[in-house]
Structure 1
Amino acid sequence: MTASGALESPAASRPLPSAAAFAHRLRRGLAMKEDPSTAAYDRIMRRLGISIGIAGVIFGFVELPQIAEQGRYAPAWWTVLAVVLAFGWYPVIAVVSAVSGPRATRFVCGCAAVGFLGALASIPFGLEMHTVDSTTVWLYRVAPVAVTAAVLAWPTRLTVTYLLVACTSAAAATVYTVTAATPQNVGENFLRAAGLAALCVWCGTAATGAAARVDRESAIASRRAAAQAAAQARDRERARFAALIHDAVLSTLLEASRAGTASDVLQRQAERTLEQLDEYRGDERDPDLLDARSAVLFLRAAVHEINPSIRFATRTWPGYDDLRMPVHSASTIAAALTEAVRNSLRHAAVPGREVRRTVTATVSAGSIRIAFSDDGAGFDLAAVSADRLGISMSILGRMRQLAGGSAFVESQLGEGTTVTLVWGGDGSR
């Protein structure tokens, strides 16, 4: 199988319907703009955004009876405006989080949070003082959802400030609208809203913070592995040079000091030593370039850091010694490979039997091909949801952004999964 044929996924040849094709291009284009080094943070942002969007829509439907009841005390235009400001952004949040990146998600979540404050600020224009015959105005109960959206939109300090402003404004709106508001009732309402909103802030901050820490640790591990591989390459070069000095230069000088007179053997040995020195001096070696052995050791170490029991096999083709891979490229491939391993460990388990996992590295002149396969549960590629950034960004996206890199995924339900990563220093596939 040629390299170009191997890289063509069967799914790529099937025509997509126009709407699906548009969504596919949109997701791919937006994913290309994301930084693969923040994969875990992006994934948790996307899932939280979808969850908050759906929760806001559900919350709006639940509040409809109260909105209709209290709408009797206000003009229809205000009720519609308040509903749009309080709930209108949540379906947008769900859609944007499903098809876009964290930057767009943060923007629409910020709009939702500001929209809630706008709805509270509009109360004096739509409701008269002390006209609502209830314990609270319906906007009061929306505060925790708005604060949750603020968690995704802004830093923690700004979110806490927003929490205080939103809950205080909601309590003040109750004082303004409710007919029989007492200080105790208002205080209880504020504490109830602030307590629930604080819980949402804590959960959201903990989730995004944990994801950011995962990204930082992953980047640190990749840099350490890259530095170790570069150090090993430099050590091998030093050992090679030391061996050349000892075995060729010093032995030639020692033989010359013993012989005392010229000889054909000594002359040939001296000529060979000079040739070796010229070859070493002419070698353009960069400590930040990994040769074939260093690249394979680097990738094997990255895999075994995740799971030491995974079999790592190596195949070589003629000319493999010519491979020179930049440490940056090796780090990118290692990050994509380890993400494939993690996905397999998380999702490929089959009850009742052990799943076999294998990595095969094929090295040829100037290129390397890494194939990770398991015989686990597998999955339907067509059914992969948009929030599976582990595939679209952390694997395929990383390799697309790498010069000379490419990747594809093959899987079927019940038949396991194969992830193939290819890198060629000349940019060929």
Structure 2
Amino acid sequence: MSNPTDTDTGPTPTGQLTAATATALLGGEQQRNPISRAQIETVLYRSVAGISLIFALQSVPAMIDQFGERRPIGALIVGFALGLSIFSVVIASLARRGVRTTTTIVATIYVAALVAWPFLMLDRDAVLDGKPWIWYLCTVATSCAAIAFPLRWAAIYTVVIPVMYGIIRLLPAGGQAELVLALLDVVYATLLGAVVLIIIYMLRQATDAVDVAQSNALHKYALAVRQHATEVERVEVDSIVHDTVLATLLSAAGAHTVKGAELAATMAHNAIARLDEAGAEPTDDAGRVPFSRLAGRIRQAASALACTFTVVENTIEPLTMPEQASEALYSATVQAMVNSMQHAGPVDDSFGRTVSMGASLTGGATIDVSDQGVGFDLAAVPSGRLGLRLSIQGRVESAGGTASVRTSPGHGTTVAIHWPAPEQPSDLDAQPDLDAQPGRSA
């Protein structure tokens, strides 16, 4: 059974969403994860990396053929730098880390290679045979710029780089091609780079729009869920207040002793406090409060009762819980103590009634209200009695916890409250109501 204050949007133990769930949705929306954008970026990175690798391999035969016409050291440095940077883009795209950095390096090294190309020839007046092998990497450079740079700078790069190559193509170091042939190469490289840039830009814009629409839809859904949950919780609070006030009136009507009058006064005080809470403006129940604060409130409530309760606390400092759960556990614990006073019978004040609070092995909270009273037979309780289910079990389960009772005639009673609920269902589900029964002690 899950805690209804978690960010899970599934059903709560009562089959309804709580306001805490809606608040968690609203809070999570502010730090949304753009799934669509992340996916399309991965596709773009790997596509550019694959194209770069293919064009790089295509340039290897031409680079080997033209190696003898260029200065060996310079040719090796340019070829090694471009090859290593393109290989780093492939690795980064697979790891999805550092892609923009590696593509920036490729675009920068290619510019440096174009500038240095005429100066790497052994004979600057000798005409290069065929196209420079660096031509095959022009599209690689513009594609990497489209990934790495903002739109404006990527567009400038897509135009300037082909023009730089066209100038080299007219020189002897570039094969001294005719002007028309050089212009055709420039136009071809520019158009191909522009197409890649436009595709990348349009895909990014489209996925951004999808992410915004998804975020707005989640926001509207969370608001609707919160409004629904607020109405559900208001009904639950009304039923709990009704139960508390009714028990107070019945206790006051049957108060014929001083102790009974003190008990009725205490219950009336608690009922008034519940009415004040119900009339107050609802608060954000997604906030967490320390368990130690709840323990202090329970200790104060126990000291205000007419009977003596021994309060035991074990390892509660690190534990926190949602405010909604804290309020539910407090109300259920006080109700269990009141029931013990009403039905346990004569009990020794020295450790006769105890309230034990501590952290469970699973990191949750446990509260046990025990007495050494007369106890009762669970099987003998009519199934139509619903007091305990509403006043204790209903409160705890509405906050994602569970409550169970252990009792037998002559051996006292223990009400065990656990938050959050364990995996197995509460055994109280199969038990009849135990409230207002003769001999009931919890």
Scaled by the length of structure 2, the TM-score of the pair is 0.49
Would the alpha carbon gap of residues 39 and 146 (structure 1) be closer, same or farther in structure 2, given more than 3 Å must change?
same
Mapped to 1, the partners of 2:199 and 2:421 lie a distance apart of: 45
Query: Quick check: 1:155 aligned with 2:150?
Result: yes
Quote the offset at 1:83 in angstroms: 1.6
Pick aligned residue for 2:399 from 316, 322, 328: 322
Do 2:81 and 2:109's aligned partners in 1 also have CA atoms closer than 8 Å?
Answer: yes
Identity of aligned residues (%): 17
CA contact (8 A) 1:163 1:198 kept: yes
Whichever residue aligns with residue 203 of structure 2, its letter is A
Equivalent pair of 1:106/1:153 in contact (CA under 8 Å) = yes
Aligned partners of 1:140 and 1:174 also within 8 Å: no
| Residue number in structure 2 paired with 1:123 | 117
Structure-2 separation of matches of 1:317 and 1:247:
11
2:248 is the counterpart of 1:171: no
- Pair 281,110 (structure 1): closer, same or farther in 2 beyond 3 Å: farther
The one-character-per-residue Cα deviations of 1:187-231 (angstroms, maximum 9, x if unpaired) are 111100001111111222233333333333332222222222223
What is the match of residue 286 of structure 1?
A: 283
Contact 1:56 1:90 in 2 (8 A): yes
> Among residues 187, 190, 193, which one is paired with 2:186 in the alignment?
190
For the residue of structure 2 that corresponds to 1:286, the secondary structure is coil
Deviations 1:40-96 (A, max 9, x none): 322332333233223322222211121122222211122222223333212211212
Is 1:80 the counterpart of 2:58? The answer is no
Q: Per-residue deviation at 1:240?
A: 6.6
Tell me which amino acid in the other structure corresponds to 1:107: T
Q: Map 1:8-407; keep pairs closer than 5 Å.
A: 37-101=33-97, 104-127=98-121, 128-129=123-124, 131-134=126-129, 136-176=131-171, 177-236=173-232, 276-282=271-277, 286-287=283-284, 289=286, 319-323=396-400, 365-366=419-420
Question: Which is helix-richer, 1 or 2?
Answer: 1
The CA distance in 1 between the partners of 2:232 and 2:164, in whole Å, is 68
Residue 423 of structure 1 corresponds to which residue in structure 2? none
Instruction: Indicate if the aligned counterparts of 1:113 and 1:146 stay in contact, CA closer than 8 A.
Output: yes
Moved more, 132-141 or 200-209: 132-141
In the TM superposition, what is the alpha-carbon distance from 1:139 to its structure 2 partner?
1.4
Contact 1:45-1:152 within 8 A present in 2 as well = no
Displacement, 1:368? 10
User: Any unmatched runs of 5+ in structure 1?
Assistant: 4-34, 250-262, 293-315, 325-363, 370-429
Greater shift after overlay, 194-203 or 87-96? 87-96
Q: Indicate how the Cα distance of structure 1 residues 188 and 55 shifts in structure 2: closer, same or farther if over 3 A, else same.
A: same
Stretch deviating more after TM superposition (282-291 or 181-190): 282-291
Letter in 2 for 1:157: R
SS for the counterpart of 1:52 is helix
Contact 1:150/1:159 (CA < 8 Å) preserved in 2? yes
CA shift for structure 1 position 264:
6.5
Q: Is the 8 A contact 1:230 1:287 kept in 2?
A: no
1:361-380 CA distance string (max 9 Å, x none):
xxx944799xxxxxxxxxxx
Q: How far apart are the structure 2 equivalents of 1:319 and 1:271?
A: 22
Deviations 1:395-419 (A, max 9, x none): xxxxxxxxxxxxxxxxxxxxxxxxx
Task: State the Cα distance separating 1:160 from its structure 2 match.
Answer: 0.7
Q: Distance in 2 between matches of 1:54 and 1:62?
A: 13
> 1:303-324, CA deviations, whole angstroms, 9 ceiling, x for partnerless residues?
xxxxxxxxxxxxx999431149
Q: Alpha-carbon deviation of 1:126?
A: 0.3
Structure 1 residues 368 and 67, CA gap change in structure 2 (3 angstroms): farther
Q: Kindly provide the amino acid, as one letter, of the partner of residue 286 in structure 1.
A: T
Q: Which moved more, 1:164-173 or 1:276-285?
A: 276-285
What amino acid does structure 2 have at the position aligned with 1:168? V
Q: Tell me: CA distance 1:217–1:132, structure 2 relative to 1, closer, same or farther (3 Å).
A: farther
Q: Is the 8 A contact 2:2 2:420 kept in 1?
A: no
Q: Is the 8 A contact 2:139 2:189 kept in 1?
A: yes
CA distance in 1, matches of 2:96, 2:174: 41
Paired AA for residue 397 in structure 2: Y
Compared CA separation, residues 367 and 87, structure 1 to 2 (3 A): farther
Q: Is the 8 A contact 1:70 1:132 kept in 2?
A: no
Q: Aligned-pair distance for 1:120?
A: 0.9
User: What root-mean-square deviation, in Å, do the aligned CA atoms of Structure 1 and Structure 2 show?
Assistant: 4.2
Q: Greater CA radius of gyration, 1 or 2?
A: 2
Match for 1:115: what amino acid? I
Q: TM-score, normalized by length of structure 1? A: 0.50
Cα 1:195–1:319 shift into 2, 3 Å = same
For residue 63 of structure 1, give the secondary structure of its aligned residue in structure 2: helix
Separation in 2, partners of 1:220, 1:210:
16
* Residue pair 2:142, 2:157 contacting (<8 A) in 1 also: yes
